[in-house]
Amino acid sequence: MTLAKNEREREHRRADRIAVVNWRDPWHPAAGGAERYAWELARRFAAEGRRVHYVTSRAPGQARRETVEGVIVVRLGGRFTVYPLVLAWMLTRRRSFDAVLDCQNGIPFFTPWVLPRGVPVLCVVHHVHDEQFGVHFSSWLARVGRLLEGPVARRAYRRHACVAVSPSTVTAMRERLSWTGPVYVVPNGVTPPPAVPAGEGTGLVCVSRLVPHKRIGKLFDLAERLRVPLRIVGRGPEEDALRAEVATRNLGDLVLLAGYLPEDDKTALVARARLHLSTSRGEGWGLSVTEAAALGVPTVAFDVDGLRDAVRDGVTGWLVPTWESFEDTVELALKELSDPHRREEMADACRDWAAQFDWARSADRMAALVDAAVRRGTAYCTRPEAVVIGGKGPERVVEGPVRDELLETRGIDSVRPATDVERLLGWAGGWPR
* pLDDT tens, position by position, 281-319: 888 898 999 999 999 999 999 999 999 999 999 999 999
Q: Is 214 part of a structural domain of the chain?
A: yes
145 shares its domain with 57: yes
Say how many domains are in the chain.
3
User: What is the value of pTM for the model shown?
Assistant: 0.86
Q: Is 257 part of a structural domain of the chain?
A: yes
Q: Is 154 part of a structural domain of the chain?
A: yes
239 shares its domain with 311: yes
Q: Is 23 part of a structural domain of the chain?
A: yes
Q: How many CA atoms lie within 13 A of 299 on its CB side?
A: 32
406 shares its domain with 286: no
Q: Are 182 and 133 in contact (CB under 8 A)?
A: no
User: In degrees, to the nearest 5, what angle opens at C-alpha 16 toward C-alphas 15 and 22?
Assistant: 75
As a whole number, mean pLDDT of residues 95-123 equals 93
Residue 403 has pLDDT above 50, yes or no: no
286 shares its domain with 341: yes
Q: Are 257 and 216 in contact (CB under 8 A)?
A: no
Q: Is 364 part of a structural domain of the chain?
A: no
Of 123, 155, 185, which one is at a domain's C-terminal end? 185
CATH number, position 169 = 3.40.50.2000
25 shares its domain with 170: yes
38 shares its domain with 181: yes
Q: Is 210 part of a structural domain of the chain?
A: yes
Please state the separation of Cα 238 from the chain's center in Å. Answer: 22
394 shares its domain with 246: no
213 shares its domain with 181: no
Q: Is 243 part of a structural domain of the chain?
A: yes
d(CA 234, CA 211): 10
d(CA 10, CA 226): 63
132 shares its domain with 7: yes
Secondary structure string (H, E, C) spanning 96-144:
CCCEEEEEEECECCCHHHCCCCCCCEEEEECCCCHHHHHHHCCHHHHHH
Domain range for 345: 204-354
d(CA 432, CA 97): 40
d(CA 78, CA 81): 5
Name every residue whose Cβ is closer than 8 Å to that of residue 333 and which is 6 or more positions away in sequence: 275, 298, 300, 317, 318
Task: Give just the sign of the alpha carbon dihedral 307, 308, 313, 319.
Answer: positive
Name every residue whose Cβ is closer than 8 Å to that of residue 30 and which is 6 or more positions away in sequence: 24, 59, 209, 236
**β-pair partners for 391:** 412
328 shares its domain with 391: no
Q: Provide the residue type at 350 as one letter.
A: C
Q: Is 109 part of a structural domain of the chain?
A: yes
Residue 136 pLDDT grade (very low, low, confident, very high; cuts 50, 70, 90)? low
pLDDT in tens, 173-227: 999 999 888 888 999 999 888 766 655 667 899 999 898 888 998 999 999 999 9
d(CA 55, CA 35): 12
Q: Are 48 and 408 in contact (CB under 8 A)?
A: no
Residue (of 276, 348, 363) closest to 36 by Cα position: 363
121 shares its domain with 249: no
92 shares its domain with 123: yes
Of 339, 354, 369, which one is at a domain's C-terminal end? 354
